[in-house]
Amino acid sequence: MSRIRHCVECPKCLTRYLISFSPYSNGAYLRPAVNASSDEYILYCSCGRGVGVSRWRASEVMACKVSNAAFKRGFGTSVEIRPVPKARESWSFDASQYLNDWKSPDRRKGTS
Ligand SMILES: [Zn+2]
**Among 50-59, 62-71, 100-109, whose mean pLDDT is lowest?**
100-109
Q: How far apart are CA 95 and CA 112, in angstroms?
A: 29
**C-alpha of residue 109 to centroid of ligand 1, in Å:** 61
- Under DSSP, is residue 31 helix (H, G, I), strand (E, B) or coil? strand
**Residue 22: is its pLDDT beyond 50?**
yes
Class of residue 15 by CB neighbours under 10 A (exposed 0-12, middle 13-18, buried 19+) = buried
Q: Is the pLDDT of residue 92 over 50?
A: no
Q: How far is the CA of 86 from the centre of ligand 1 (A)?
A: 25
What 3-state class would DSSP assign to 4? Answer: strand
Ligand 1 centre from 3 Cα, in Å? 23
Say whether pTM exceeds 0.75. Answer: no
Q: What is residue 25's predicted lDDT score, i.e. its pLDDT?
A: 94
Residue 23, preceding peptide bond in cis (omega within 30° of 0): yes
* Partners of residue 55 on adjacent β-strands: 42
pLDDT, position 70: 97
pLDDT score of 52: 77
- Cα of 45 vs centre of ligand 1, distance in Å, is 4
